[in-house]
Amino acid sequence: MGNIGVLVVLLLILGGLVWLLVRALKGKEVERRVIFAFILVAVAAPLLLTITFEMKPTPIVRALYDRIETLPPDSRVLLSFDFDPPMSPEVQPMANAVTRHVLARGLKPVFMTLWATGQAQFNITLTDVIYREFPDLVDGVDYVNMGYKAGNEGVLNVIRTDFRKMFPTDVNTVPWDSIPVLEGIRSCSDFSLIVSLGGGKPGVKEWVLFVGDPTGVPTAGGVAAVVAPQLYPYYPGQLFGLLGGVKGAAEYESHFRDNYPQFESMDTPAMVMMGPQTVAHLVIMAFIVIGNTLFFVTRKKEGRR
Amino acid sequence: MIASGCTAGAERFGSYLKLATLATFLIPIVGFSAFAQENSVVSADSVAVATVAPVTSLVVEDYRYDDGENLALTWVPSIDDQPVGGKVVGYEIFQITDSGEPEKIADVLPGVSSFLATGLHAGASYRFYVTARAETSSAPSVISAALTPHREWINWGLWNLMLTALVVGGSVMFFIETARRGHELFVRKIAGLEAVDEAIGRATEMGRPILYIPGIQDMDDVQTLASLTILGRVAEHAATYDIRIRMPVSRSLVMTAARETIKAAYQAAGRPDAYNEDMVNYVTDEQFGYVAAVDGIMVRERPATVFLLGAFFAESLILAETGNSVGAIQIAGTARPAQLPFFIAACDFTLIGEELFAASAYLSGEPKSLGSLKGQDVGKGVAMVAIVLGVVAATLYALTGAAWLQAFGDWLVAMFTIAS
Amino acid sequence: MRREIPLGITIFVGFLAIVSFFSPPLEGLGEDFTLFFDIIAVFAFFLGGGNLVRLHLTKLLKKKRDWGFSVVTLVGFFFMLAAGLFKIGNPGDISASVTAQGSLFATLYYNVHLPLSSTMYALLAFFVASASYRAFRAKNREATVLLLAAFVILLGSTPFGQLLTNWMPGGIDILEIPNLAVWVMSSPNLAGQRAIMIGIGLGVVSMSLRLILGIERTYLGEDRG
Residue of B261, B317, B358 with shortest CB distance to C221: B261
Pairing of strands B245-249, B305-311: unpaired
**Number of structural domains chain B divides into:** 2
Cα within 13 Å of Cα(A70), Cβ side:
8
**pLDDT of chain B along its 420 residues, tens only?**
444 444 444 455 445 455 555 545 444 444 444 444 433 333 333 344 458 999 999 999 999 888 889 999 999 999 998 877 788 888 999 999 988 889 999 888 888 899 999 889 988 999 999 999 998 899 999 999 999 999 999 999 899 989 988 998 899 889 888 888 888 888 888 989 999 999 999 999 999 999 999 999 999 899 999 999 999 999 999 999 999 999 999 999 999 999 999 999 999 999 999 999 999 999 999 999 999 999 999 999 999 999 999 999 989 999 999 999 999 999 999 999 889 999 999 999 999 999 999 998 888 888 888 888 888 889 999 999 999 999 999 999 999 999 999 999 999 988 888 765
Helix or strand run (H / E) with residue A41: helix A32-48
Task: Give chain C's mean pLDDT.
Answer: 88
Do the chains contact at B108 and A186, CB–CB below 8 Å? no
B174 touches chain C (CB under 8 A): no
Q: Which of A148-152, B30-34, B255-259, C104-108 has the lowest mean pLDDT?
A: B30-34
Cβ neighbours for A269, distance < 8 A, ≥ 6 positions apart: A92, A93, A96, A249
Question: Are B90 and B239 members of one domain?
Answer: no
SS3 A223: strand
- Tell whether B96 is covered by a domain: yes
Do the chains contact at A230 and C128, CB–CB below 8 Å? no
- Tell whether C182 is covered by a domain: yes
- Tell whether C39 is covered by a domain: no
Question: Are A8 and A127 members of one domain?
Answer: no
Residue of C133, C159, C162 with shortest CB distance to A288: C133
Q: Which residue in chain A is spatially nearest to B322 when comparing CA positions?
A: A32
User: Where is the domain boundary, B365, B386, B407?
Assistant: B365
Compute the distance between CA of residue A166 and CA of residue A154 in angstroms, rounded to an integer: 10
The CATH number of residue B101's host domain is: 2.60.40.10
Residue of B107, B112, B338 with shortest CB distance to A226: B338
Phi, psi at B76, each rounded to 5° = -90, 125
- Tell whether B37 is covered by a domain: no
- Tell whether B401 is covered by a domain: no
Q: pTM for the whole thing?
A: 0.82
Q: Which residues of C touch A282 (CB under 8 A)?
A: 158, 160
Question: Are A161 and A48 members of one domain?
Answer: no
B176 touches chain C (CB under 8 A): yes
Most C-contacting residue of B63, B237, B288, B420 (CB-CB within 10 A), to test interface: B288
Among A149, A93, A169, residue whose Cα is nearest residue A124 = A93
Compute the distance between CA of residue A103 and CA of residue A79 in angstroms, rounded to an integer: 12
Burial zone of C11 (CB within 10 Å; 0-12 exposed, 13-18 middle, 19+ buried): middle
Task: Please report the pLDDT score of residue A2 as a whole number.
Answer: 58
Compute the distance between CA of residue A35 and CA of residue A176 in angstroms, rounded to an integer: 58
Residue of A32, A277, A288 with shortest CB distance to C150: A288
Cβ neighbours for B315, distance < 8 A, ≥ 6 positions apart: B216, B287, B288, B290, B291, C120
Question: Are A98 and A189 members of one domain?
Answer: yes
Question: Are A152 and A206 members of one domain?
Answer: yes
Burial zone of A87 (CB within 10 Å; 0-12 exposed, 13-18 middle, 19+ buried): buried
Strand partners, A241: A220
Question: Are A295 and A211 members of one domain?
Answer: no
Question: Are B217 and B339 members of one domain?
Answer: yes
Task: Give chain A's mean pLDDT.
Answer: 92
The CATH number of residue B330's host domain is: 3.40.50
Residue of C137, C155, C182 with shortest CB distance to A285: C155
- Tell whether B104 is covered by a domain: yes
Question: Are A47 and A96 members of one domain?
Answer: no
Compute the distance between CA of residue A162 and CA of residue A159 in angstroms, rounded to an integer: 5
Q: Which residue in chain A is spatially nearest to B107 when comparing CA positions?
A: A165
Task: Please report the pLDDT score of residue C52 as a whole number.
Answer: 95
SS3 B417: coil
Compute the distance between CA of residue A9 and CA of residue A280 in angstroms, rounded to an integer: 13
The residue ranges of DSSP E strands in B113-252, in sequence order, are 114-117, 127-133, 138-140, 210-215, 245-249
User: Where is the domain boundary, B108, B123, B140?
Assistant: B140
**Number of structural domains chain A divides into:** 2
Residue B321, CA distances (Å) to B383, C126, C128, C129 in order: 36, 10, 9, 10
Most B-contacting residue of A29, A186, A288 (CB-CB within 10 A), to test interface: A186
Residue of A58, A230, A282 with shortest CB distance to C190: A230
Question: Are A186 and A284 members of one domain?
Answer: no
Question: Are B221 and B305 members of one domain?
Answer: yes
Question: Are B132 and B196 members of one domain?
Answer: no
Q: What is the pLDDT of residues C152-206, one digit of tens each?
A: 999 998 888 888 887 877 778 788 898 898 889 888 988 898 899 999 999 998 9
Do the chains contact at A58 and C178, CB–CB below 8 Å? yes
Q: What is the pLDDT of residues C14-34, one digit of tens each?
A: 999 889 989 989 988 888 888
Q: Which residues of C touch B168 (CB under 8 A)?
A: 202, 205
Task: Please report the pLDDT score of residue C100 as a whole number.
Answer: 79
Question: Are A224 and A288 members of one domain?
Answer: no
Phi, psi at A282, each rounded to 5° = -65, -40
Question: Are B236 and B294 members of one domain?
Answer: yes
Q: Is the pLDDT reported for residue A219 higher than 70?
A: yes
Question: Are A144 and A279 members of one domain?
Answer: no
Question: Are A44 and A64 members of one domain?
Answer: no
CB C178 within 8 A of CB C153: no
Expressed as residue numbers, the domain containing A157 is 59-263
Most A-contacting residue of C110, C124, C133 (CB-CB within 10 A), to test interface: C133
The CATH number of residue A67's host domain is: 3.40.50
Expressed as residue numbers, the domain containing B116 is 56-140
- Tell whether C92 is covered by a domain: no
Most C-contacting residue of B166, B247, B357, B369 (CB-CB within 10 A), to test interface: B357
Q: For residues A22-27, give the mean pLDDT.
A: 92
Among C157, C191, C151, residue whose Cα is nearest residue A230 = C191
Q: Which residues of C touch A291 (CB under 8 A)?
A: 133-134, 136-137
A74 touches chain B (CB under 8 A): no
Task: Please report the pLDDT score of residue B310 as a whole number.
Answer: 96
Question: Are A76 and A48 members of one domain?
Answer: no
SS3 A78: strand
- Tell whether B84 is covered by a domain: yes
Do the chains contact at B325 and A32, CB–CB below 8 Å? yes
Expressed as residue numbers, the domain containing C199 is 136-214
Q: Which residue in chain A is spatially nearest to C132 when comparing CA positions?
A: A288
Do the chains contact at C160 and A38, CB–CB below 8 Å? no
- How far B135 CA lies from chain C's nearest CA (Å)? 41
- Tell whether B130 is covered by a domain: yes
- Tell whether C174 is covered by a domain: yes
Question: Are B111 and B209 members of one domain?
Answer: no
- In the chain, the amino acid numbered A213 is D
Neighbours of chain A (3+ CB pairs under 8 A): B, C
Q: Which residue in chain B is spatially nearest to A158 when comparing CA positions?
A: B108
CB A16 within 8 A of CB A286: no
Q: What is the pLDDT of residues A232-285, one digit of tens each?
A: 888 888 999 999 999 999 999 999 999 999 998 888 999 999 999 999 999 999
Among C205, C211, C209, residue whose Cα is nearest residue C7 = C211
CB C119 within 8 A of CB C130: no
Distance of CA C219 to the CA centre of its chain: 21
Strand partners, B72: B61, B116
- Tell whether B252 is covered by a domain: yes
- What part of B 68-87 touches C (C-beta under 8 Å)? 68
Pairing of strands A108-113, A219-223: unpaired
- Tell whether C159 is covered by a domain: yes
**Number of structural domains chain C divides into:** 1
Question: Are A259 and A273 members of one domain?
Answer: no
Among B323, B266, B270, B260, residue whose Cα is nearest residue B297 = B323
User: Where is the domain boundary, B322, B350, B365?
Assistant: B365
Question: Are B132 and B226 members of one domain?
Answer: no
Helices and strands per DSSP (H, E), number in chain C = 9, 0
The count of residues in chain A is: 305
SS3 B309: strand
Task: Please report the pLDDT score of residue B32 as a whole number.
Answer: 42
